[in-house]
Amino acid sequence: MVDAVRPFVVIIEDYDDSREVFVECLRIGGFDVVGFACAEDALASFVGRPPDAVVTDLTLPGMSGEEFALRLRKEPRFATLPVFALSGRGLESGVEQLFSCTLMKPINLDNLTTRLRSALVSNSSEST
């Protein structure tokens, strides 16, 4: 369930500087944010506190962003979770349906914040 005050967003980005910028921007934008360098660590964190949305790079060490999204979509509790893809190359054919939104790098941070808010409102109204 989305916290009306500060929705919880997980960022998965293997470049430290980029991850820190995303996390800080979203915090300033009113989100509660945690960043991870790999998808495996992000998934492990969901046991303690499932996110309201996820923003993931597609090219990651270990599990790719596509593999991560596919794993989430197989779990009923995450089937409708907003998952945003960040890419410098676009999506491979056939994986578009795994993501709520795809944003091309370089990322416009205002656009990311706006789209996240919109997806969270939409997802919240669908689950009620």
Confidence (pLDDT) at 97: 86
Domain count, the chain: 1
Parallel, antiparallel or unpaired: strands 32-36 and 53-57: unpaired
Residue 113: which domain range?
8-126
CATH classification at residue 14: 3.40.50.2300
Position 57 in a domain = yes
Position 1 in a domain = no
* Residues with pLDDT less than 50, the chain: 1-3
Position 3 in a domain = no
The reported pTM is: 0.90
Confidence (pLDDT) at 35: 98
In this structure, are residues 6 and 113 in contact, taking their beta carbons and an 8 Å threshold? Answer: no
Confidence (pLDDT) at 91: 63
Confidence (pLDDT) at 108: 93
Confidence (pLDDT) at 1: 47
